[in-house]
Structure 1
Amino acid sequence: MIYRYPSIFELFRIPTPPTPFNATKSCTQLCVRLTPAAASLAAQECNLKSAMSITLATKLQKLLMLSSHRRLLLTKLVHLAPDLGLPPNFRSRLCNDHPDKFKTVDTSYGRALELVSWDPHLANPLPSPEVQSLGLIVDRPLKFKHLRLRKGLNLKRRHRDFLIKLQELPDVCPYKTSVGEFPKESIEAEKRACGVVREVLGMMVEKRTLVDHLTHFRKDFGLPNKLRGMLVRHPELFYVSLKGERDSVFLVEGYDDKGTLLEKDETSVIKEQLMGLVREGKKMRRERRNQSINNEVGGYDDTIDDHIDDGTKDGFDSLLDFEDIDGDYEDFGSDNEEEDDEYDLSRVGVNFWTADAHVVNDEEKGPSEPW
């Protein structure tokens, strides 16, 4: 791997003291170190992590303020930790470095993080996304109610009317309201659940996470059992991607029409710079190999690169995966909660927003469309 990325690692030799077996010869030892560019990125990342300690603690505090019992199991927080940008050792370091915000306690279900102080300045939801100008020539009220959706997304009139009705309801603050304040399966309870998911996705580094990760917090955040169905039912707020073995949910307002993240986290910027060094190393290795072939130099050792594949899959992405570091992020599997089933279209005669009525399914094809 060291030879594979010459833009990140470099080899050098240092002299070693003579031994009784080689008293007359000078010996050297082969060592490895980071290149100046890689060392600079490593220093930036180290300084950034220390400076972001308060920011990461604020994210955990807001999650605890969203929970109904102001307490979350550490085994559940592990699922969201990489998406939140938490370090692998957050359970032993970050959770204990801010006793004024939260503390770790023992429960019958395991170790949990409990809220210590309520911060009213953090109990403010994300501002509503700004409605872009429609480009009208005459500045006058619209004759029909407008629902801002992604380009190419068409909904049936019944579905559109429901989303407009939910949009006209008074805003529900997920921090200051509990799930018990609204009737179960009511439109007000669904608007609160959408606000909770919107707040959680807004804390993510890339404004996205796996749907399975959110299902672990259904009881803690007061989310419906059929959480995936609710996410698909609101394409104006969320986008559910079916790519891969596990579905992902994106916050629509965090991306532009081309699917580009609007606000990039500082950690993601450093990661992109590191990947640039990886691509530069591939280019250097390829040029070195071509030069060796063209000049027919026998001193070049082709055995170094025989086992290296110049394709895109070089295994370097696993080094950047937080879940592989020290084995701290374990896969705990799914909780013993109800499975997130699909909609059942056979049940009719109920309100649209209830869990029994599901109009956005395969025959809709709306929210499942790509960007």
Structure 2
Amino acid sequence: MVFRNLTISYEIIKSLKKEPSLLGLQIRSISSLKVVWKKDTRLDEAIEQDKRYKLCARVVKEVLNEPGQVIPLRYLEKRRERLRLTFKAKSFVEMNPCLFEIYYDRIKPKSDLVQFIRPTPRLRAFLDEEQRIYAENEPLIVSKLCKLLMMAKDKVISADKLVHVKRDFGFPNDFLMKLVQKYPNYFRLTGLPEEGKSFLELVSWNPDFAKSKIEQRAEDEALQTGVRVRPNFNVKLPSGFFLRKEMREWTRDWLEQDYISPYEDVSHLDQASKEMEKRTVAVVHELLSLSLLKRVPVPTLGKFCHEFRFSNAFSSVFTRHSGIFYLSLKGGIKTAVLREAYKDDDLVDRDPLLAIKDRFLSLLEEGWQERKDRLKQQREQVQKDRELLLATKSNEPKERLCD
């Protein structure tokens, strides 16, 4: 798969105007600046590993959103397609014994008894633990939300869009109402919430939050070495990845340009300028750094083109800067991954809020092991019963057919 039409630098365009005799040669050179997409198996595996976790999280969310946090099993069965369940709902409950338990109740007072499901005590305990982790990391959540607003045009973002990405950044379900009421010095909710037209606005600018991951890393390195370090991107080309000479030179020149902070006012920059591309890469890098798993679906990022001043072709930065990002096609959706946050398929730059995911995975694995042990015991019991039956038959006296 080949991604073409890389951004042409301003210097090359000027050289074309000055030397029109070289126009044909230069165009061929520029048009040859292509980046071949190369599959990164390890990063794809990191995404694949989350499939089962995400499925379980979707079903749990579905049940918890029901009145009384209970649901008839047959109702859940009807929602299989929407939940992307590839097997029966009852099988899902049996495969995850730590999540739900089945009991009998009536949908209406005089109706027949039917199977319902409800959260297990262990799932309830996890939900309490989740709230505790959120409370412990509230300053981190506040800083993330402030940073998103500080990077945005006019320092305001649609509340609906923020709710849509709450899982990507690790925000709790009630983050809007809770944080707006608790931190009026930072946030203000405007518009008409009842009509779905509300916006979250930044009230005050905190300079402590106005440092990107790259700028903070440069500061930390300068403190350790005593040498001033220029903020710049880490370029980490995957094994076996090859860039043609022209592309290597283009990348080198691009890296030598001054870093533009995602928190800097760029209203004066032209959308098609090389400086604006540098800023776009900085914003995307910061967004992925703030995300929980250091990766976000490209369509999700695309919803914020207006807020973060992205061009319509912003997604080209993921292939043009393959040493910074990886564009995964796993699961039929494009996902932007921050390379420096991973070592093979392991996330090394871990967000403190990932403690919630770790605890949920432990709960799932506990249930899977219990089911595995139970099935093993059942198989062993069947084998014992079979052996006992064979032994009994072998000890029975044989009938004499004739004297």
TM above 0.5, yes or no, is: yes
Structure 1 residues 329-357: Cα deviation after superposition (integer angstroms, max 9, x where no partner) = xxxxxxxxxxxxxxxxxxxxxxxxxxxxx
Change (3 A) 1:147 1:8: closer
CA–CA distance in structure 1, aligned partners of residues 369 and 237 of structure 2: 40
Alignment pair present for 1:203 and 2:308 = no
Change (3 A) 1:278 1:174: same
Change (3 A) 1:278 1:153: farther
Larger helix proportion of the pair = 2
Change (3 A) 1:148 1:291: closer
Alignment pair present for 1:277 and 2:366 = yes
Gaps of 5+ in 1: 13-30, 131-145, 298-371
Alignment pair present for 1:149 and 2:237 = yes
CA–CA distance in structure 2, aligned partners of residues 215 and 9 of structure 1: 36
CA–CA distance in structure 1, aligned partners of residues 189 and 137 of structure 2: 20
CA–CA distance in structure 1, aligned partners of residues 385 and 94 of structure 2: 21
Change (3 A) 1:243 1:147: closer
Query: Are the counterparts in 1 of residues 170 and 291 from structure 2 also a CA contact under 8 Å?
Result: yes
Secondary structure of 1:235's counterpart equals: coil
Structure 1 residues 76-117: Cα deviation after superposition (integer angstroms, max 9, x where no partner) = 112321111112233333343321211110079810000011
Query: Are the counterparts in 1 of residues 98 and 363 from structure 2 also a CA contact under 8 Å?
Result: no
Query: Are the counterparts in 2 of residues 182 and 188 from structure 1 also a CA contact under 8 Å?
Result: yes
Alignment pair present for 1:263 and 2:353 = no
CA–CA distance in structure 2, aligned partners of residues 225 and 277 of structure 1: 46
The within-5 A match list for 1:207-218 is: 207-218=294-305
Secondary structure of 1:239's counterpart equals: strand
Aligned counterpart in structure 1 of residue 248 of structure 2, from 154, 160, 176: 160
Structure 1 residues 47-104: Cα deviation after superposition (integer angstroms, max 9, x where no partner) = 1122222321221111000001100001211232111111223333334332121111
TM-score by length of 1: 0.63
TM-score by length of 2: 0.59
| RMSD (Å) for aligned C-alpha atoms | 2.9
Gaps of 5+ in 2: 1-89, 104-116, 219-233, 387-403
Q: What does residue 23 of structure 2 align with?
A: none
Secondary structure of 1:274's counterpart equals: helix
CA–CA distance in structure 1, aligned partners of residues 321 and 174 of structure 2: 35
Give the greater-gyration-radius structure (CA).
2
CA–CA distance in structure 2, aligned partners of residues 68 and 82 of structure 1: 23
Q: Which amino acid aligns with 1:184?
A: Q
Structure 1 residues 301-353: Cα deviation after superposition (integer angstroms, max 9, x where no partner) = xxxxxxxxxxxxxxxxxxxxxxxxxxxxxxxxxxxxxxxxxxxxxxxxxxxxx
Change (3 A) 1:275 1:5: closer
Alignment pair present for 1:80 and 2:165 = yes
Query: Are the counterparts in 1 of residues 270 and 276 from structure 2 also a CA contact under 8 Å?
Result: yes
Identity %: 26
CA–CA distance in structure 1, aligned partners of residues 385 and 95 of structure 2: 21
Secondary structure of 2:337's counterpart equals: strand
CA–CA distance in structure 2, aligned partners of residues 152 and 230 of structure 1: 20
Change (3 A) 1:32 1:147: closer
Of 232-241 and 42-51, more deviation after overlay is shown by 42-51
Secondary structure of 1:103's counterpart equals: strand
Secondary structure of 1:277's counterpart equals: helix
CA–CA distance in structure 2, aligned partners of residues 118 and 53 of structure 1: 18
